Structure 1
């Protein structure tokens, strides 16, 4: 019996998740200056514990996040995703992407997207050594997370400062940074 495409894809995702190892834990914010006693600069909580390297460049256009176990595309433009698009088109582009020998790419949820933000950086708010920014950092990146009170909206992240906002899924265009792996 032939499995439906959705179920075949789900089983490939589960299989490939076991290929990516993670030390687990929430990432540090990147804030190291102490501005107010008790802020994150003071506590320095989060991964990496012991100063381990968080991101690994695989040399094939992909990056592994050792804190979350997710694999990201280093430069979405190199994968043919260099222009902004509507939310539904972004989902389809990720779902149909075959890049670096993997065909189980998807649009990240908002928590996954925010996990690469480094709050010690600005424009872009993530490490450009591992995540090549789009030419326009003022246009948000889509997430797959729909905004509960506004069903026509989806959560996005501004790459210049890591700010989370909601844009219209049906009338706004944003960039997309595909991801693979994670828990199902």
Structure 2
């Protein structure tokens, strides 16, 4: 199983978002407040997210190129970020990433109106993978799957700020 989930970390970014119209959104747009500073606040979790993946900017995240990082580099990027004049940005927990998965959509499995131009690939969490000291949990936003990757692999990053959600069950 570990081999399979490590292999899946290499899934490529791909096509156009597909959403099921017969299901209610798990992350409705009205749940989020978009700031003029490039942030999005989730009114359910009270977390504030960067609207764009690292490397992208602009109202629709149309400027730049999404950048991948190793896990140690992702932690350094978060610790040094002063985006929107704030210094408390961090890499999200796996539970926090869970809260922005849009379960009725794929490619990407996220509300694209709230988080535009999200790569359909893996995003780091700070959550360690129990039993694999060199690995951490991540979310593959192609389909919302939980995966583990070696911390030396390059994955995408979306920063968050606010009170950290419980890491209980991070090693599931």
TM-score (norm. length: structure 1): 0.68
Give the structure with the larger helix fraction. Answer: 1
- Unaligned residue ranges in structure 2 (runs of 5+): 1-18, 59-63, 166-172
Between the two proteins, the alignment pairs up a number of residues equal to: 140
- What is aligned with 1:149? 131
Give the structure with the larger strand fraction. Answer: 2
Distance 2:45 2:21 in 1: 21
Distance 2:65 2:106 in 1: 23
Work out whether 1:98 is the aligned partner of 2:98. no
- What is aligned with 1:110? 94
- What is aligned with 1:126? 110
In structure 1, which of residues 149, 166, 169 is the aligned counterpart of residue 148 of structure 2? 166
Q: How far did residue 179 of structure 1 move?
A: 0.1
1:39-76 Cα offsets, whole Å, 9 max, x none, are xx7xx9x898xxx9211111210000001000000013
The answer to whether the 8 Å contact 1:86/1:173 transfers is: yes
The answer to whether the 8 Å contact 2:27/2:102 transfers is: no
Cα RMSD after superposing both structures? 2.7
Q: How far did residue 133 of structure 1 move?
A: 3.1
Larger Rg: 1
Q: List, as ranges, runs of 4+ consecutive aligned residues in structure 1 with deviation greater than 3 Å.
A: 30-34
Select the structure with the greater relative contact order (CA < 8 A; seq sep ≥ 6).
2
